[in-house]
Amino acid sequence: MRDVSKFLSGFRRFQQNYLGEQRVLFEQLVQQGQRPRALVIACCDSRCDPALLTDCDPGDMFVVRNVANLVPPHVQATYFAATTSAIAFAVHNLEVEHIIVMGHAQCGGIRALMEHKTPDCNEEELIAKWLGIAEEARQQVLREFNDKPIQMQANVCEQSAILVSLENLMSYPWISSRVQEDKLTLHGWYFDMRHGELYEYRPESGVFEVLVDNLEVATYQI
């Protein structure tokens, strides 16, 4: 695609919808600033825009996107500051009440982590370094699903990596204290784009369970 006219006509529709029809909302956001209630940590993947998936308005969610929706542990916070500074801003300045780590099916980053190829250029080294945050998830998948096909391993790892990120979030004292004081709730969500469903990690059962099912599939099955 050499021209960007699709994006420009989209911006025209945005003007009509938000600067026209939703003028009150936008005036509020301009005059009073943002006050999102949730921080969402999502993948850069072009198919997983959290605001689009949740049909949110501007101002509803503060979003950090990175390869494979990872959260570095506290000990590496300054090394991976692009993600951690955004988390700090959301928690410290915006005082969000929820942090949602939103993983997804068919994640190219997690697939690359599972394939574990030796990087042969600077670009691949950068990606491998970042994906190393989820190494613990890869090791767990290898222990339990070593004889399974790579795509299945990757799908399991997509969910395990979300749990690593949730664990890493709790390694920040200013996050764990807010969680303990009930000011902040952490969520692990998984968007299964194959079936159009949203899953949530439930600590009670230790697995991801359907949070929002696909009505069309349910109707079709009946």
Q: Which range touches Zn ion (CB under 5 A), out of 6-14, 99-107, 124-132, 198-206?
A: 99-107
Q: Can residue 40 be called a binding residue for Zn ion (CB under 5 A)?
A: no
Q: How far is the CB of 43 from Zn ion (least distance, A)?
A: 3
Paired tokens of 126: 């950068």
Q: How far is the CB of 102 from Zn ion (least distance, A)?
A: 10
List the beta bridge partners of residue 66. 43
**SS3 state at 83:** helix
Q: How far is the CB of 47 from Zn ion (least distance, A)?
A: 8
List the beta bridge partners of residue 192. 197
Mask of contacts with Zn ion, 44-73, x by CB under 5 A?
Answer: -x----------------------------
Q: Which range touches Zn ion (CB under 5 A), out of 36-44, 57-65, 134-142, 197-205?
A: 36-44
Which residue do the tokens 């570095």 mark?
72
* Of 39, 41, 43, 61, the one binding Zn ion by CB under 5 A: 43
Q: C-alpha distances in angstroms, 218 versus 135, 196, 214?
A: 36, 11, 6
Q: Rounded CA gap, 127 and 132, in Å? A: 9
Judge contact between 71 and 96, C-beta under 8 A.
no
Q: How many CB atoms lie within 10 A of CB 58?
A: 14
* Cβ-based nearer residue to Zn ion, 109 or 188: 109
Q: How far is the CB of 168 from Zn ion (least distance, A)?
A: 17
* Cβ-based nearer residue to Zn ion, 66 or 84: 66
* Of 38, 61, 63, 107, the one binding Zn ion by CB under 5 A: 107
Q: Rounded CA gap, 124 and 122, in Å? A: 6
Which residue ranges make up the site for Zn ion (CB under 5 A)?
43, 45, 107, 109
